[in-house]
Amino acid sequence: MKIIVANWKMNPQSVIEARSLFGAFKKNSSKKAEVIVCPPFLFLPVFSKIANVKLGAQNCFFENSGAYTGEISPLMLKNAGCEYVILGHSERRRHLLETDEMIGKKIKAALSAGLKVILCVGEQERAGEFDLEAEIVGGQLEGGLDGVKKTQMRNVVIAYEPVWAIGTGVSDTPNQTLQAAIFIRKKIGEMFGRNIGQEQKVLYGGSVTSKNVKPFVEQDGIDGVLVGGASLNAGEFAKIIERVGEAC
């Protein structure tokens, strides 16, 4: 079963809009794909008891409680009905200066709290050769997953998001993404064992639309997509779900 993750980022601006958008997601959910919606923290309690669509968060802190003003703990997310959490997104790496070490601490805390982690990795720009990409992506995997137990890796999904493709309207190619997925699985295999590497789920993210999604998910080595801006348009996201279902 393919995975479709909707990352709403800092949208929409009201509960009314959020309810309307989430209702459209629920209506168009697919039996052929696992749909995960990641709204802002404010809206999580509104959707926690709605069936057919799984709930995720866009971030968490690396402690379950304490004097950390403005932060949200993984245990809070778990108790609010979340099953997943996105960690290491490039926008947080860039705007909040999150390091691989910090992301790694969050990952271990989230897994310990019983959440599944969607770890985002990706290079800043296309180098032409995959060597530079491999160095960057490999470093993000090593730093983020350092200290994670082998038994916990079944609850980790890797989202390959080349930064140059996010929000630009220019997506990667399915073939290049497949090569990235192969590299990611090889790296995971080196870190945790060949079997774990082979079973690792890898998603693609970066300007995903209903027009380009199908060639990505038709690849056996690409397990789904992480959708940003297109997930804020109910009609467009419904088409994405439909295209993914056709490819399954």
Q: In the chain, where are the structural domains located?
A: 2-247
Is the per-residue pLDDT at 29 higher than 90? no
User: Residues 124-177: pLDDT tens digits?
Assistant: 776 555 555 788 999 999 999 999 999 999 999 999 998 877 777 778 889 999
How confident is the prediction for the chain on average, in pLDDT? 92
HEC string of the chain equals CEEEEEECCCCCCCHHHHHHHHHHHHHCCCCCEEEEEECCHHHHHHHCCCCCCEEEECCCCCCCCCCCCCCCCHHHHHHCCCCEEEECCHHHHHHCCCCHHHHHHHHHHHHHCCCEEEEEECCCCCCCCHHHHHHHHHHHHHHHHCCCCHHHHHHEEEEECCHHHCCCCCCCCHHHHHHHHHHHHHHHHHHHCHHHHHHCEEEEECCCCCCCHHHHHCCCCCCEEEECHHHHCHHHHHHHHHHHHHHC
pLDDT at residue 22, rounded to an integer: 83
User: Smallest Cα–Cα separation from 59: which of 35, 75, 41?
Assistant: 41
Catalytic residue status for 190: no
The pTM (predicted TM-score) of the whole model is 0.95
Q: How far is CA 13 from CA 9, 39, 44, 96, in A?
A: 11, 11, 14, 22
Q: Is 161 a catalytic residue?
A: yes
**Which pLDDT belongs to residue 131?**
55
Catalytic residue among 89, 91, 123, 133, which?
89
- Residues 91, 98, 133, 161: which is the catalytic one? 161
Domain 2-247 = CATH 3.40.309.10? no
- Confidence band of 50 (pLDDT split at 50, 70, 90): low
